[in-house]
Structure 1
């Protein structure tokens, strides 16, 4: 296949769904978590649940970095942005995440904070060069996919001796969150994972081995197109039927066993593993996030501005935490689509382009109509 449209052909999708129906065993439930929000949106957008047998249940996971960022971290970013000597740079989705007192980075900007949306770390570096009398802080978030650009920014800042540039590091890691979900006392029952593809182009498929061996759950790393997801479902069903618990790669056109060696080396050079990090919905997850390496401490915004972390409880009416754990669906939230909408989000799951609530809001009516 050469073009993206070939991964979206309806006739092939219907044929794959028919094949999956021949694979499932009557009376058996297949509970599969799509860890990444990109899969959640593909499933909702293309109505894949309506093509699958009723005994295959696709469960949303915590695979949206904006969604899992706790309110306390957003509060710290807002605190930085409100300083008169700071320009805060961030990717777009984080600007709208609700924090304490109904404040967001967008609202902080309305109050006079210098908050700038950037498309890459290159943009943040250029802003630092153009504003030598300001402290420019890059609000770094994301899974392993976005860690290499942050690492390169740190290396470039050191090379140029950009003393007014620093990084507020909030990068989180996928495999530890998977293991934490399975080990939790109130964990949702799962039979397998649809693993994230973009993350795995960086880290490879090897880091998921512990999920398969320690918890006996198969993992299939899948691309984000509808045919990718359907093929991954078929591969998981085949593993479950055979009693196998292995890590397999559907997205073999981009994912290898070891991942991108150069990217991983740059990340290891500039960042270090935190002992623990709070995830929205999961609580404190050991060894699940990165901090700036001590060798690059001069570019660590948490040290430069002394940012102690404070836990902040989520909005009482928001079910984002339970949705991220796979225990509830967006429609189970009483404020979903009524009080909480993309224009007026109460929780981060409605904000992000990868959030489960945003996916259900934008595509839910279509999916429900298609499956009725």
Structure 2
């Protein structure tokens, strides 16, 4: 398959790994954060960390849309379904995230709430058309990747004059969260805790590479936008190592086959019309992050489920047995959580990082990386 199999060549993977071995300078530590959960899965699935030099470490960031949802937002969705008797539509992983008291949307469904899994916002809009006598709420989550489809859905709802449809808007913004991590990250001696950032792939297809310019200019931080195949990741890490060695801090684009500097202009224009940036938004593990999420613009406020039903987000602490917050901040790895692989598994998750298909804990569990120094995985 074009653009897939050619990026999974084991011979080329070992060649890049050999270049990395020569490029990584002895006595120097390299710490790079991959923000996107999809990249965490690439590293785990293909055993790429086993190909890296010992002084090159990958830090797993909060780039999983389900994982960063705070409990309070899930409780809001549950309230819409249980108390206001709305049909709640959302993506599959969201249904399994533990909320207050360990309850989930799946459990609420078992109690009689009408909660449905959908593949797109348009599926939720179709439910509203089919049930004109019921309120239908779409629980909209995700980064810039899933935001344009929600915008298109709201434009269509407005065009058709559908009155029984609304949205709990929980779309979040990548650059704001990345900067928050840099602002709040501890420092080791006189140096920043991170030496470079792996830019997300799908998000960057939408927003382009230019929004990362501030990390290079303001933070003097190398950034390389990376695709989702093993060779993409290895080449990205090599590009980051070379930037650090040469004292450069630039935005480079390894994923040139899909990402442009300006991004998807049509999608961005739609987002600008339908949404406005919130002053702040609560993220699981990161706390309140300024200018990091979206709400509906005045033109589309009629579809705001929070206003329609008087939903109020409440701050709810995570389970004390779960280390999701520290894992999302890159401060701990999954196997450092005592519940990981024991009380917390994909079948019985305690935290969001084990629920989502993009969560770091799910990645480590699924691909057998259950402890530090685990057995070598086969190369790409």
Q: Shorter chain as normaliser: what TM range?
A: over 0.9
Residue by residue over 1:157-184, the C-alpha shift from the partner in whole angstroms, topping out at 9 and shown as x without a partner, is: 0000010001100000000111110111
Residue by residue over 1:104-136, the C-alpha shift from the partner in whole angstroms, topping out at 9 and shown as x without a partner, is: 000000000000000011111110000001101
* Paired position in structure 2 for 1:338: 342
TM-score normalised over the length of structure 1: 0.98
* Paired position in structure 2 for 1:298: 302
Q: Over the residues paired in the alignment, what is the CA RMSD in angstroms?
A: 1.4
Q: Secondary structure at the match of 1:67?
A: coil
Q: d(CA) in 1 for partners of 2:239 and 2:328?
A: 24
* Paired position in structure 1 for 2:284: 280
Q: 1:313 to 1:198 in 2, by over 3 A?
A: same
Q: d(CA) in 1 for partners of 2:339 and 2:186?
A: 24
Q: Secondary structure at the match of 1:127?
A: helix
Q: Secondary structure at the match of 1:170?
A: strand
Q: Is 2:252 the counterpart of 1:248? A: yes
- Cα distance, 1:364 vs. partner? 2.8
* Paired position in structure 1 for 2:6: 6
Q: Is 2:224 the counterpart of 1:227? A: no
Residue by residue over 1:35-55, the C-alpha shift from the partner in whole angstroms, topping out at 9 and shown as x without a partner, is: 000000000000000011000
Residue by residue over 1:32-80, the C-alpha shift from the partner in whole angstroms, topping out at 9 and shown as x without a partner, is: 0010000000000000000110000001001001001100001111111
Q: 1:364 to 1:347 in 2, by over 3 A?
A: same
Relative to structure 2, which stretch is displaced further, 6-15 or 240-249?
6-15
Which consecutive unaligned segments of at least 5 residues does structure 2 have? none
TM-score normalised over the length of structure 2: 0.96
* Paired position in structure 2 for 1:35: 35
Relative to structure 2, which stretch is displaced further, 181-190 or 118-127?
181-190
Residue by residue over 1:218-245, the C-alpha shift from the partner in whole angstroms, topping out at 9 and shown as x without a partner, is: 1100001100000100110110000001
* Paired position in structure 1 for 2:141: 141
Selected match of 2:375 from 348, 369, 372: 369
- Cα distance, 1:83 vs. partner? 3.2
Q: d(CA) in 1 for partners of 2:240 and 2:3?
A: 26
Q: d(CA) in 1 for partners of 2:193 and 2:60?
A: 12
Q: d(CA) in 2 for partners of 1:209 and 1:49?
A: 27
Q: d(CA) in 2 for partners of 1:138 and 1:249?
A: 34
Q: How many residues align?
A: 372
Map residues 1-372 of structure 1 onto 2, 5 A cutoff: 2-83=2-83, 85-184=85-184, 186=186, 189-365=193-369, 368-370=374-376
Q: d(CA) in 2 for partners of 1:153 and 1:186?
A: 41
Contact 2:206 2:263 in 1 (8 A): yes
Q: d(CA) in 1 for partners of 2:167 and 2:101?
A: 25
- Cα distance, 1:88 vs. partner? 0.3
- Cα distance, 1:85 vs. partner? 3.2
